[in-house]
């Protein structure tokens, strides 16, 4: 049987389908359940064809994390422009949306998943990804109206990711924490981060 010839438009649609599918899979079930075979089955392509887009599952995941960033920036802008929300309410809504990624279709890697991806990266690729992350968090802070010198984007990124990853880790990876107050913990952490951000914003 002759192989189907795909147009550039069709290839782009398939690539986007792979990216959105892995984002959804990470958000709902985690990376461990997102094998290439499963992803290909969901998208309706062969495993061989998958490798014409991405060299590995790890590359797909990194590209998916980059792919969701414009959407997150767009959501942040909309919240900041919403006249019905105060500044604090807008930022709080954004942070909660990310923390509860499984409910909102936001891919947040667990501690184990980050280690899995990191092991497959060259030092150069890792450094490039880190630079992109710093730029992303800097853009978020700018959207939130914080001056460039107000909060280090790396600190903001660490604080936000810690909230998301610890919440995701309860109770499986971190069984000694108390799952019944996990959401109270998130609220406390968000309030602490908002207090710092609001102080910097006010002083500026």
One-character DSSP codes across 96-133:
HHHHTHHHHT-----HHHHHHHHHTS-HHHHHHHHHHH
Q: Which of 2-16, 101-115, 136-150 has the highest mean pLDDT?
A: 136-150
Q: How many C-beta atoms surround the C-beta of residue 13 within 10 A?
A: 13
Residue 103 or 178, more confident: 178
Q: How high is the mean pLDDT of the chain?
A: 93
Judge whether residue 129 has pLDDT over 90: yes
Q: How many C-beta atoms surround the C-beta of residue 198 within 10 A?
A: 15
Separation between Cα atoms, residue 189 and residue 153, nearest integer Å: 17
Domain locations in the chain as residue ranges: 8-203
CA 159 centroid distance within chain: 14
Separation between Cα atoms, residue 152 and residue 170, nearest integer Å: 28
Give tens-digit pLDDT for 35-50. 899 999 999 999 999 9
Please identify which residue in the block is written with the tokens 């710092």: 196
Contacts of 135 (CB under 8 A, 6+ apart): 153
Judge whether residue 60 has pLDDT over 70: yes
CATH 1.10.357.10 fits 8-203, yes or no: yes
Please identify which residue in the block is written with the tokens 């990216």: 19
Question: Which among 124, 126, 125, 151 has a CA at the least distance from the CA of 139?
Answer: 151
Separation between Cα atoms, residue 59 and residue 93, nearest integer Å: 30
Judge whether residue 1 has pLDDT over 50: no
Residue 102 or 197, more confident: 197
Q: Which of 52-56, 81-85, 101-105, 142-146 has the lowest mean pLDDT?
A: 101-105
Using 50, 70 and 90 to split pLDDT, how confident is the model at 2? very low
Give tens-digit pLDDT for 138-196. 999 999 999 988 999 999 999 999 999 999 999 999 999 999 999 999 999 999 999 99
Q: Which pLDDT does position 103 carry in this prediction?
A: 86
Judge whether residue 27 has pLDDT over 80: yes
Burial of 4 (0-12, 13-18, 19+ CB in 10 A): exposed
Judge whether 86 and 94 are in contact, CB under 8 Å: no
């Amino acid at each position: 049987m002759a192989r189907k010839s795909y147009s550039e438009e069709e290839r782009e649609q398939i690539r986007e389908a792979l990216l959105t599918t892995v984002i959804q899979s990470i958000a709902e079930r985690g990376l461990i359940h997102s094998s290439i075979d499963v992803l290909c089955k969901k998208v309706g392509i062969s495993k061989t064809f998958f490798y014409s887009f991405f060299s590995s599952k790890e590359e797909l995941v990194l590209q998916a994390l980059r792919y969701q960033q414009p959407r997150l920036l767009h959501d942040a802008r909309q919240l900041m422009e919403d006249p019905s929300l105060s500044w604090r309410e807008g930022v709080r809504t954004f942070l909660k949306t990310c923390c509860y990624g499984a409910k909102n279709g936001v891919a947040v890697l667990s501690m184990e998943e980050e280690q899995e991806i990191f092991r497959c990266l060259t030092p150069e690729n890792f450094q490039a990804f880190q630079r992109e992350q710093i730029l992303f968090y800097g853009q978020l802070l700018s959207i939130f109206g914080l001056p460039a010198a107000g909060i280090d984007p790396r600190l903001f990124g660490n604080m936000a990711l810690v909230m998301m990853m610890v919440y995701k880790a309860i109770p499986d990876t971190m069984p000694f924490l108390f799952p019944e107050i996990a959401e109270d913990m998130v609220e406390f952490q968000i309030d602490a981060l908002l207090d710092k951000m609001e102080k910097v914003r006010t002083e500026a």
